[in-house]
Structure 1
């Protein structure tokens, strides 16, 4: 006896929805969420109305396409609206204040950043011939690999003003 696969099409639609939701959780780009919604409402809805499987697939595909073209851009615009993205990792170090941990020799030395990390540092090329004694206030102007490029902060200023581009 052959099982009635078309009679249990609702199970197939639920499997498609669950797979699409899992893929959405892995990708987080709202494409599979639109496919899941189209399959749930279009495919499962057409099955509930008693439509044949080709029309169920057509309804799911059509609704998924409409959601992808209309709802997804609106949702993405709504999600990315607001504050600028938060800087993380090395990007968050640029502009961070620091202190010279030892005297800089030949433009290089150690700097303790305000987040507590001690980095190998070198002076920005426009400051590399200046004397930087222990405890001098610095600011990170760039990060090259594992080296922070720093510039002295004048006593009356908040941030350094590098005099030229990095090489």
Structure 2
């Protein structure tokens, strides 16, 4: 049995490398890539005549070293190129608007500075409980399809058109 392992270990290593690369393509976290490279180290050790148990140790040590040293900087480089622009709900938070239809704690409509018309309600944290048409507001949260707003206290405003 041990002779069989020594003779055909390279097939085992090639299979593992292939499996780890396929899993890496699905996860994109560099973990399985490091393990695949470690398996390549085990394969190379086998090519140079190391017994199967030494091949496993070489693969484990190389994988562990790569996971601890190479993976963190690669992940930082990958995340550095992300788009810093806010989108979706994050882009609406802090946006100013004008009340179109009286806004109460349960209903209302506002036109935001980006031109969107949203259903709105007054934030429960505000003392001023009803906002009249033409008042300026600030979006503090989004609850489903409703903007939660508070009165804007700015003196100088760029007014969105109604």
TM-score, scaled relative to structure 1: 0.69
Q: Specify the SS of the correspondent of 1:50.
A: coil
How much does 1:38 deviate?
0.9
Distance across 2 between alignment mates of 1:38 and 1:137: 61
1:123 aligns with 2:129: no
Q: Which residue of 1 aligns with 2:55?
A: 56
Give the conservation status (yes or no) of the 8 Å contact 2:103–2:130. Answer: no
Give the conservation status (yes or no) of the 8 Å contact 1:20–1:32. Answer: yes
Distance across 2 between alignment mates of 1:110 and 1:49: 74
Q: Specify the SS of the correspondent of 2:17.
A: helix
Q: How does 1:35-74 map to 2 (within 5 A)?
A: 35-40=35-40, 42-74=41-73
How much does 1:97 deviate?
3.5
Distance across 1 between alignment mates of 2:130 and 2:141: 18
Give a deviation string over 1:133-167, Cα, whole Å, max 9, x none: 05x54331112344321134446157xxxxxxxxx
> 5+ unaligned residues in a row in structure 1: which ranges?
159-167
> 5+ unaligned residues in a row in structure 2: which ranges?
none
Give a deviation string over 1:45-98, Cα, whole Å, max 9, x none: 112212222221111111001111211223234434577855444333212344
Q: How has the CA–CA distance of structure 1 residues 20 and 83 changed in structure 2, closer, same or farther, with 3 Å as cutoff?
A: closer
Which moves more between the two structures, 20-29 or 44-53? Answer: 20-29
Structure 1 segments, 4+ long, off by >6 Å, are none
Q: Which residue of 2 aligns with 1:20?
A: 20
Which moves more between the two structures, 18-27 or 56-65? Answer: 18-27
Q: Specify the SS of the correspondent of 1:7.
A: helix
Give the conservation status (yes or no) of the 8 Å contact 2:109–2:119. Answer: yes
- Note the aligned Cα RMSD (angstroms): 3.1
TM-score, scaled relative to structure 2: 0.71
